[in-house]
Structure 1
Amino acid sequence: MWFKSVGLVLCILLGVATEQPTKGQELACDVQIDRSQLSGSEFSFLGDLRRRVEEYINERNWTEDQFLSSEQITCSMQIVFLEALRPTEFRTRLIVTSRRPIYGTSQSTVVVRINDSEWQFEYSRGTSLRYDPNRYNPLTSVLDFYANIILGYDYDTFSELGGTPQFESARRIANEAKGTGDPGWSATSSDRNRRQLIDELLAKRHQPVRRAHYRYHRKGLDRFVKDPENARTEVIGLLESLQETSQYLSNSYSLDLFFATKYQELTALFLGGEQSNRAYNLLTQIDPGHSSEYNKLMNR
């Protein structure tokens, strides 16, 4: 990506040995399988799904961009089996998490955490997962969708609306799945599903939420170590923008995801800072559901 290529050029000019960028394999995804809610030993074959999903996600080129191995996006997928509808058909919950490094530190931050409770698919012993962007599959199409969502969110943290191409790829998958009747793809099946998420991420009226991801990560977290007060000022500015946005965005999934992912980090960011009172007022207005966490800002 262009913002990562700058660092590579600087290293070359300074005579520093670097990794050579290679095309693709952008994701380093850890997959966990939880089948504790299924009774019976006949489902032991589901343990093999972990390896197959990891290979499917991690060994694929999802974009045309060049990545160093150290630039791979760290993410995780937890597949929780809720019910066996038939011996090889399952209702599951998928928890998707992605992280990115914080510039100038050895730490990382969670970019987004999504809890998808509407995933239903068939899987039998020894089933291979084959990538086919032109054909809908209840199992792999959801994996494709979230691979693009992870990429889009990550790109958005490095440049304003930088993840649009990846989100458009996710929308094409959602459009292909819309007529299947499978859960999670219809705007009428739930107010917190894949369809609503991708519609919001590409809607102009929701762009302030995506712009907030850029400002928060690139101008807030990445600058916090060197200039904490200016970083806090930047975050206050994006919160003021989100306060205005929240006035006309009712029941916004993408806005709720931002705060569900970041509420504890936002509190820690302002603890002990001069702008904690202003942060408290904004956060409790925009995100009242996490007021008990934000109250810590007033108890110092």
Structure 2
Amino acid sequence: MKKLISLFLLLFLYNVSFSQELLATVQVNSQQVAGSNQQAFKVLEKSLKDFINNTSWTGKKLQNFEKIKSNFAIVVASRDGNRFTASIVVQAVRPVYGTTYESPLINLQDTRFTFDYVENENLIFNERQFSGKNLIDVISFYVYLILGYDADSFQSMSGTQWFQKAQQIAQNGQSQNTYDGWKQINEPRSRSILIGEILNPNMAQLRSSFYTYHRGGMDNLFNQDQTGAKRAIFDALMQLKMYENSFQQNYFFNLFITTKSDEIYNIFNSGNNGGIVLSDLKQLMILFAPKFTDDKWNKWK
């Protein structure tokens, strides 16, 4: 009997200690929907949180500290029966080795988010076909996008398998003509365009720089001597000069620059840059992100 109890406790502790791949928070803001049943939005919020955190997206069991911290913030603009029109902000961060600092992986807003939802319905993901309601499809797409970004930051190009999952979801979404946000034409910054750019061989350098930026740079940035880490980040960013004539309409590229702009500015704003020619990086960042020229790049000394 004692052996059975010990075995039960061991299995219980194993299940408590291990969980799925994401640690996500979810917010559903329904303030714009006057007179609507607010309880339905609370149920939706909890259902989405459980769906994201409890679905086995990769088949791996991870300890709590290994899970990817992410946030899904949905703002509902209108409701017509069971159809909702909304926007969604998707964010994820990555821990930096030896510190409590978390580096942003992705921070985007998707304004083409219409979906159908019935209170208390089961949310079940099927990668082989479109759900017909668009809710779990959009959420699942961004989950795999986050998994891909995270994997790429730890091992060069290792996010491909998860990006391909996202691409399959996008292709499923394109197969219907009911919901916006999946088209490859006449919808700038669509989900299909984003994942297509990520997997385009022409963007391999950006993905390679993304890896070097994090593993060679950020994970060593908090050493006593920051020279090598800053040089790795500088070199990774300067490698992106190859896109100077093609980045303007590239969603993937501009998303990287926007997500990382604050971090890049802060890294090189310390005045201790180990002989790096900061003016070269400044010139490049003014080209890539001119909207930040006055409040960031021109402040570098």
User: Structure 1 length as normaliser, TM-score?
Assistant: 0.88
Alpha-carbon deviation of 1:24? Answer: 6.3
Structure 1, unaligned stretches of length 5 or more?
1-18
AA matched with 2:148: G
Size of the aligned set, in residue pairs, is: 280
Query: What are the within-5 Å matches in structure 2 for residues 169-188 of structure 1?
Result: 169-181=165-177, 182-188=179-185
Cα gap change, 1:135 to 1:51, in 2 (>3 Å): same
- What residue number does 1:165 align with? 161
Alpha-carbon separation, structure 2, partners of 1:204 and 1:158: 19
Quote the sequence identity (%): 26
Match of 2:128 in 1: 134
- Local SS of the residue matching 1:130: coil
Shift of 1:249: 3.9
Question: 2: CA distance between counterparts of 1:126 and 1:237?
Answer: 50
| Structure 1 residue 234 displacement after superposition | 1.3
Q: Which residue of 1 aligns with 2:74?
A: 79
Query: 2:146 aligned with 1:144, yes or no?
Result: no
Quick one: distance in 2 between partners of 1:241 and 1:191? 26
Rounded to whole Å, the distance in 1 between the matches of 2:205 and 2:46 is 38
Deviation at 1:250, TM superposition (A): 4.0
Q: Quick one: which of 198, 203, 208 aligns to 1:201?
A: 198
CA distance in 2, matches of 1:174, 1:22: 33
Matches within 5 A, 1:213-228: 213-226=210-223, 227-228=225-226
TM-score, normalization: structure 2? 0.87
C-alpha distance in 1, partners of 2:239/2:287? 12
Instruction: Tell me the secondary structure at the aligned position of residue 218 of structure 1.
Output: helix
SS of 1:293 mapped into structure 2: coil
Segments of structure 2 that go 5 or more residues without pairing to the other structure are: 1-13
CA contact (8 A) 1:24 1:60 kept: no
2-side partners of 1:21 and 1:100: how far apart? 23
Distance across 1 between alignment mates of 2:293 and 2:199: 29
1:22 positional shift: 8.2
User: What is the Cα deviation at residue 209 of structure 1?
Assistant: 1.6
Quickly say closer, same or farther: Cα 1:196–1:232, change in 2 above 3 A.
Answer: same
Task: Say which of 209, 212, 229 aligns to 1:212.
Answer: 209
1:67 deviates by 2.2
- Cα 1:246–1:295 change in 2 (3 A) is closer
Mean alpha-carbon deviation: is it higher for 278-287 or for 210-219?
Answer: 278-287
SS at match of 2:73: strand
